[in-house]
Copies of this chain bind each other. A is one copy, B any other.
Amino acid sequence: MKQNIYDNPIFFKNYTSLRETGVTYNDFIEQPAIKSLISSLKDKTVLDLGCGTGQFANYCVEKGAAKVLAVDISKNMIDKAMKENNHEKIEYHCSPIEDFQFNHQTFDLIISSLAIHYIEDYDSLITKISQLLKDGGEFIFSTEHPIVTARKDMNNWVRDEGGNKLHWAVDHYQEEGIRKEYWYIDGVIKYHRTISTLLNTLIEKGLVLEKVVEPTSIAIGLEKMPKVINEERKPSFLVIKAKKQEVKF
């Protein structure tokens, strides 16, 4: 059974309340980085893996995408998406992203925002993504940075007696696999993978690495959420863009 924390009522309530503030790491760090990597959305066919409440799917349509297929494991999320970000060009599906069945569809752009660290079998997912991309198509995804997921005890800021952040703690880096943490509810499971695994798997599956971003906050974030300055001290996210090789004749 795949983990589906977003259908836990306590988690869902807290998570959606947080996102609705518009004052989050997503708003100031991760989403700007993802968006900065997209070449163009005009007339593109997009697949959004882990679409949540459909905000990004809606953004794609606003920017001229021809069609967005948006998939999420959580019924809560998909229900909310269909209410708040309904559009004739967006097709929502409730399914674990690993299990979704595609009917010979291919895509110009595949996006996945902070979902891949919940996926156990990265290798199979990237194989599938590579097959789903058109030649020259782009895959852009964000994930928690391996510096963040490495240590098994994920309370990673080491503080002095006054609570000041002394440094960030890394450990168990090469030991890939399950990391459990408390995030609104107990036992949220993420998967740690090394930077080399994240990158080499893309290359092995026929993708060409185009850019790697370890984003810091945009300017407005530093005003509205001063603690994002700590992103200078260690990155929270890794954002990667890769391209399916174009076949040349």
Contact = CB atoms under 8 A, between A and B. Distances in A.
A83 interface: no
A66 interface: no
A98 interface: no
* Copies of chain A in the complex: 2
Determine the main DSSP class of A at the interface with B.
mixed
Interface stretch (A89-97, A111-119, A123-131, A162-170): A162-170
Interface string A139-171: 000000001001100000010000000111111
A230 to B, nearest CB: 10
Contacts of A69: none
Given A158-B167, A170-B234, A174-B232, 14 more contacts: A158-B158, A167-B170, A171-B234, A172-B232, A172-B233, A173-B234, A174-B216, A174-B231, A174-B233, A194-B235, A195-B214, A199-B212, A200-B212, A248-B248
Interface of A: 147, 150-151, 158, 166-175, 194-196, 199-200, 203, 208-214, 216, 231-235, 248
